[in-house]
Amino acid sequence: MHTEVPKNTKTKRPRTKKTLSLKQKEGLQGYIFISPWIIGFLCITAGPLLFSLYGSFTNYDVTSRMDFIGLSNYIKMVTNDDLFWISLGNTIYYVVISVPLTVFGAVLLAVLLNQGIPGLRIFRTIYYLPTVLSGVGVYLLWMQLLNPTTGLVNTMLSWIGIQGPAWLLDPNWTKPALIFMKFWSLGGGMLLYLASLQGVPKSLYEAAEIDGANAFKRFIHITLPMISPVIFFEFVTGIIGGFQVFQEAYVMTDNGDGGPANSLVFFNLHMWDKAFNVFDMGYAMAMSWVLFIIILILTLINLKLAPRWVHYQGGDQK
Amino acid sequence: MSKEANYFQSVKVKKRIKQTIILIVLILGAILILSPVWWMLATSFKSMTEAMQYPPTLWPHKWHFENYIETWKAAPFTRYLLNTIFITFFVVLGNVLANTFIAYGFSKIQFKGRNVLFAIVLATMMIPGFVTMIPQYVVFSKLGWLNTYFPLIVPAFFGNAFFIFLLRQFFMTIPNEMIEAAKIDGGNHFYIWSRIVVPLSKPAIATVAIFSFNGAWNDFLGPLLYVNSEKLYTLQIGLSVFKGQVSTQWNYLMAGSLLVLLPVLVLFFIFQRYFIEGMNITAGTKG
């Protein structure tokens, strides 16, 4: 539909229309160009956002009812839904371990790759590869890799004399299993850090070396500050993404049943169940707003803390 | 003098030792990273008994190429493939058209409220998908779009915050003088967009196309929510259903998974440059 828009602008452009100044005309065209986004924003983002905010105060079930019930959904969530707390706990567990671990691993990998070793391009390709692989096929692969007896992971562990856990079958190990799987695709972050590291002037390291700073000190005082904006970016997006973990848990437990002892009931999995299995949409929308607010608060905290540790070169970030 | 030479000699040796250790660590890491992919490949060629054998074999005794044909025949994968190609084509088309158009507006035209609106674009990246998912589902169901591809395709024509950001970043590197010159020659913005900015931005557009191809190809949640009848299944849904059908036949499951992942893999090896470039645009602006 929007592809028609530019054609209209052509007909609107005739010079006879003297009422609009050149600047206003330009402005109008600007709005025409971004109009697909404006329409999309209103119809598939802002509108739904408001609907779900209102819906969260109702007992909406798609088909018949939509009565205003005040804070009931939120009260029920906090006081009368054990799975809500379990799902929140599972999700926080996942985020708290997975995000820092992946950031740490990716930084370490990028630093190693940046030591002027031969074959950088090949290594970069190999390490980035898992990031490209996603979807059901990868989850099925990992279900097999994590098989307690015949899987590759425990086979490899047995080579170094470690008896591997039962991973997806043991409630204590299901989340580490998913964190492990996520860690496999640390190459995405690695690429960003590597790009950023390659922009660090060599002279900085040379100067520090002359001043007698050892490798560790150079890492802490030069490397880390220089790549801190990327770490910040990865950290913020990692938290936002981590709180929304869904697909892997859905596919790797039989159609989202939550795994052994509900250990893989993540927030979104519980929300999905409420919305599309039980059709308690009002409640699910209330849950989605709780998640939104958690993410919002964490992002604001991150932005607030950023000036303390994120070092921007030149100051102007645009 | 010789003392100094010795010093440099020892620094050089130390450096070489350090490099060797790093290289060994990286090679071991690379083997670990690649081992799941090898595992998938090896398993897909094993016989069913060998795939379940303990201890597992790292190299198939006999290569069962027929596994692939049997897998493909075991479920309507051809149908799933055509469906997925159809959806992916329109999603990529929508994303490339809409996002270059929008990003042009945000980078090459001055208008009131531009910065505020762009800030909103960036802010929308923070909204969890599940918040808008339920109302979207309601709207699409009221439109009678359930069990059609419209909910999967239509949103792609209305812009994506990350792609807008990425393309805007790239468009800003195109000198404004070129735009001005084209304007003096009588070109309007639509002309400049289609004849100057888009042709000059092929690398960035390729990045968007590849990322959106991957997104559409691997999308599981969308079809899971909106598609019910089997003849509309995509590869991702088909594969997850297939898992239920052949639960223990891991050789078939791995063959199926590999076939589904193959286009993405091929694309990655051909257009690797664009994947990396896309990431670098992101990194360049963050760091």
pLDDT of residue B8: 74
pLDDT for res A313: 66
> Which residues, other chains included, contact A72 with Cβ-Cβ below 8 Å and sequence gap of 6+?
A59
The pLDDT tens digits of the residues spanning A35-66 come to 999 999 999 999 999 999 999 999 998 887 88
User: Mean pLDDT over residues B136-157, rounded?
Assistant: 95
Beta-carbon separation of B36 and A62 below 8 A: no
Kindly tell me if the per-residue pLDDT of A9 is higher than 60. no
Chain B CB within 8 Å of residue A291 CB: yes
SS3 content of chain A, % helix, strand, coil (to 5): 70, 0, 30
CATH superfamily membership of B68-286:
MetI-like (1.10.3720.10)
Q: Check CB contact under 8 Å for B98 and A36.
A: yes
How far are the Cα atoms of A37, A68, B117 from residue A51, in angstroms, in the given order?
19, 13, 21
Quickly state the pLDDT bin for A91 (edges 50, 70, 90): very high
Inter-chain touch B23–A62, beta carbons under 8 Å = no
The total of other beta-carbon atoms located within 10 Å of residue A231's CB is 24
Calpha distance B96→B179 (Å, rounded):
21
CA B280 to chain centre: 15
pLDDT tens-digit series, residues B180-219: 888 888 888 999 999 999 999 988 999 899 999 999 999 9
Instruction: Give the number of other CB atoms < 10 A from CB of residue A308.
Output: 6
The residue among B241, B236, B226 whose CA lies nearest residue B147 is B226
Q: Are B203 and B274 in contact (CB under 8 A)?
A: yes
The more confident residue out of B77 and A213 is B77
pLDDT grade, residue A3 (50/70/90)?
very low
Nearest one of A241, A97, A108 to A186, comparing CA atoms: A108
Alpha helix stretches (DSSP H) within A114-186: 120-132, 136-145, 152-159, 174-184
- Please give the distance of CA A59 from its chain centroid, rounded to a whole number: 30
Work out the burial of residue A183: count CB atoms within 10 Å of its CB; fewer than 13 is exposed, 13-18 middle, 19 or more buried.
Answer: middle
| Chain A residues with CB-CB distance to B43 below 8 A | 144
Tell whether the model's pLDDT for residue B96 goes beyond 80. Answer: yes
Residue A224 bridge partners (DSSP): none
Residues B229-264: tens digit of each pLDDT? 999 999 999 999 998 888 778 999 999 999 999 999
pLDDT for A291-313, tens place per residue? 999 999 999 999 999 988 888 76
Q: Is A115's Cβ below 8 Å from some Cβ in B?
A: yes
pLDDT of residue A6: 46
Residue B81 has pLDDT above 50, yes or no: yes
Asked if the Cβ–Cβ distance from B36 to A117 is below 8 Å, we say no
- The helix (run of H) or strand (run of E) holding residue A306 is helix A281-309
User: Could you tell me if the ipTM is greater than 0.85?
Assistant: yes
The whole-angstrom separation of Cα B177 and Cα B192 is 12
Query: Which range has the top average pLDDT, A85-89, A157-161, B204-208?
Result: A85-89
A-chain CB neighbours of B258 within 8 Å are 137
d(CA A40, CA B158): 5
pLDDT at residue number A18 = 55
CB contact under 8 A, A140 and B53: no
| Number of C-beta neighbours around residue A15 at 10 A | 6
Chain CA centroid to CA B38, Å: 21
Q: Is pLDDT of B44 > 70?
A: yes
**Among partner residues A52, A125, A281, which is closest to B131 by beta-carbon distance?**
A52
In chain A the domains, ranked by start, together with CATH numbers, are 2-55 (no CATH), 74-309 (1.10.3720.10)
Q: Name the residue among A6, A155, A199 with its Cβ closest to that of B190.
A: A6
Q: Give pLDDT, residue B71.
A: 93
pLDDT surpasses 50 at A318: no
Query: Which residue of B22, B111, B140 to mutate against A (max A Cβ within 10 Å)?
Result: B111
Q: Residue A58: beta bridge partners?
A: A68
Q: What is the pLDDT of residues A97-150, one digit of tens each?
A: 999 999 999 999 999 999 888 899 899 999 999 998 989 999 999 999 999 988
Taking 90 as the threshold, does the pLDDT of residue A88 lie above it?
Answer: yes
Q: Above 50 in pLDDT, residue A10?
A: no
> What b/e readout covers B94-125, taking b as 16+ CB neighbours within 10 angstroms?
bbbbbbbbbbbbbbbbebeebeebbebbeebe
pLDDT tens digits, residue range A213-264?
888 888 888 888 889 999 998 999 999 999 999 999 999 987 778 889 999 9
What pLDDT does residue A136 have? 93
Q: Is the confidence at residue A315, as pLDDT, over 70? A: no
Q: What is the rounded CA–CA span in Å between residue B5 and residue B7?
A: 5
- Are A126 and B33 a contacting pair at CB < 8 A? yes
- Arithmetic mean of pLDDT over chain A: 88
